[in-house]
Structure 1
Amino acid sequence: MSEVELLAQQDPERVAIGRRKLIVRRFLRNKPAVVAGILLLLLVLAAFAGPSLMKYDYQYMDSAALLQPPGPDHWLGTNENGQDVLSQTLRGMQKSLAIGFGVALLSSIIASLTGAVAGLLGGWTDRMIMWVVDLLLVIPSFLMIMLFAQRTKGSNSVLLLIVLLAAFGWMISARVVRGLTMSLREREFVRAARYMGASTWTVITTHILPNVASFLIIDTTLAVGASIIGETSLSYLGFGVQWPEVSLGVLIGRATDNAQTFPWTYLVPGGALILIVLCANIVGDGLRDALDPSSQRARSKRKADK
């Protein structure tokens, strides 16, 4: 038995703390990921705290400043209704971020539980869950969401969008979790727990999920950007958030006709969307390199070979 394994048995808490510190150090050495994380945090703070500090509410219409370019009164200009573009963009970011984080979290929970149950139990349970996964993968999710488009209006629109997008966004991750679980279920600690009569739920929450947490963290982070793009696409086409409520997709869709003549109405929400998705993806890559340094070494080796 190696010294590391012996130490892990004697003092597992110390080993866990040391591993967390090592992961943090790896992440902090990745300067682009750190900068992207800080920028993403500032964008979240601006989206949720900024509207209360703005001079104009996002719904306020200034009839004396229709399609006004950026200036001292309206820092990023106004739209065709005289509404402040900055206030509207912050409100749109708030909606899009709430949907993005909500979808990423909910889909990761569904994927982790279904994948762990399928991989651990096997047999008919595994076949049934995988049948559902395969069925959902071949169903055109966009068309299914369109069927519920009329119900996304009103106060429950955000919650319903989160549920709809999450319902069609967990299958690939569930397959990965299932594969990881199948490799873990033959390990000694899992077999010992099941032999001692531990319930399936206890085995999953105590032994399976902690050992696939690295993948789940990375997958959830990367899913934020994908979920925001999905919400934006739906709202842009009129199947998501509905005007007069705003999201980044709604703002981009309404500003498309004015993109060339009044570019600030299009570039501000479009730039916010690009920045959020880019930062989320860079943070996800940084977490992947910190939690799985072999992926970073593999990429470095490929670059060196070139």
Structure 2
Amino acid sequence: MSATEAVSPPPMGRLVRNPLAVCGAGLLALLAVAAVAGPFLWPYDHIAQDAGAALVPPSEDHWLGTSRLGEDLFAQCVRGLQKSLVVGLSVAVLSTLLAAAVGLTAGYVGRLVDRALMWGVDMMLILPSFLLVAVLSPVLQERSWLWMVLVLALTQWMLTARVIRARAVSLRRREFVRAAQYSGAPTGWILRRHLLPHLVPLLVIDCTLHVGAAILAEAGLSYFGFGIQPPDVSLGSLVAAGSGSALTYPWVFLAPVGFLVATVTAVGLLGEALRRVLDEGDTDGD
């Protein structure tokens, strides 16, 4: 590289300068602070009911108004945001780890293992994910919401596994992988030291984007009564509860919808920024 050639900034520097990343990270940080600190700073509890303050519009005492039973909507939305973020992050991490394990194993080992794993992936892709979750949810309805996280994670990893498998097949032919094989390195060591580091950018992007998809999936299930069960709430269950009052008492519906849209938008902006920055890094590397 010549002395006059511009040096490309590191990925973190490009990420900080990306307006999508700044907007997404800032909005997500604000929502996370509200979800964590809100219950401690706000004087109302999400399950406290006040019959004398039912369906009160937004005011100084109730920033987002109250519900039909007199519950403070800001407290309920903060609680719903907590649950939706936890579900989204848990599903995203589990599905990404599962996709990485299946894709790496199939791509590196190949042959019968590859065929068997990809056949299983194809079978999972044929099944309608939402229908599968809807069928299983009533069975798990009386159990912990962690079962719902597991079911959602099991329906969101297949496409990523195929992408990782294709990338692993390409990496398997590289000289540094062949050198490790000829030196007698165990398979697990090669996967961890040589293949997995090259897949980290893809996994980070996939995990980020899966957060938004999982939050929407949980919201859809809760809207139809299959997700988080009372007395607990999520953004989806709050949207379902307020949908009947969307025209008469719009704040009951718009408050959780606003939190849901803001959360998914923040995650989407951050994921898109990560994708662009890492793509620029790959281009510079080439």
The TM-score range, normalised by the shorter chain, is: over 0.9
CA–CA distance in structure 2, aligned partners of residues 56 and 273 of structure 1? 21
Q: What TM-score results when the alignment is normalised by the length of structure 1?
A: 0.87
Match of 1:43 in 2: 31
* Contact 1:288-1:295 at 8 Å conserved across structures: no
Deviation of 1:31 after TM superposition, in Å, equals 1.5
Residue 146 of structure 1 deviates from its aligned partner by 2.1
1:238 to 208, 222, 225: 225
**Percent of residue pairs bearing the same amino acid type:** 43
Spell out the pairing of 1:257-268 with structure 2 (5 A cutoff).
257-268=244-255
Contact 1:289-1:295 within 8 A present in 2 as well? no
Q: Which amino acid aligns with 1:89?
A: C
TM-score, reference length from structure 2: 0.93
Note the aligned Cα RMSD (angstroms): 2.0
Counterpart of 1:124?
A: 112
- Unaligned stretches of 5+ in structure 1? 4-17, 298-306
Q: Which residues in structure 2 correspond to 1:147-186 (within 5 Å)?
A: 147-154=135-142, 156-157=144-145, 159-186=146-173
Matched with 1:274 is 261
Distance 2:282 2:266 in 1: 20
Q: How far apart, CA to CA, are the structure 2 residues paired with 1:113 and 1:58?
A: 39
Give runs of aligned pairs for residues 92-241 of structure 1, distance below 5 A.
92-154=80-142, 156-157=144-145, 159-241=146-228
Distance 1:243 1:148 in 2: 19
Number of equivalenced pairs: 280
Alignment of 1:29-40 (within 5 A): 29-40=17-28
Tell me how far apart the structure 1 counterparts of residues 130 and 273 of structure 2 sit (CA, whole Å): 30
Is 1:22 matched with 2:6?
no
CA-CA distance at 1:155 after TM superposition = 6.2
Single out whichever of 261-270 and 141-150 deviates more from structure 2. 141-150
In the alignment, what sits opposite 1:10?
Answer: none
Q: Deviations over 1:220-255 (max 9, x none)?
A: 111111110011011101111122210000000010
Q: Distance in 2 between matches of 1:269 and 1:84?
A: 12
Relative contact order, higher structure (CA 8 A, sep 6+): 2
Partner amino acid, structure 2, of 1:250? S
> Within 1, Cα distance between the matches of 2:40 and 2:74?
12
1:49-98 superposed Cα distances (whole Å, 9 cap, x missing partner): 21122111000001110000011211111000000000000000011110
Q: Deviations over 1:172-219 (max 9, x none)?
A: 000000000000001111111122222221111111110011111111
**Counterpart residue number, 1:302:** none
- Separation (CA, whole Å) in 2 of partners of 1:152 and 1:272: 27
Are residues 155 and 54 of structure 1, via their aligned partners in 2, closer, same or farther at CA, if it must alter by over 3 Å? farther
Partner of 1:63: 51
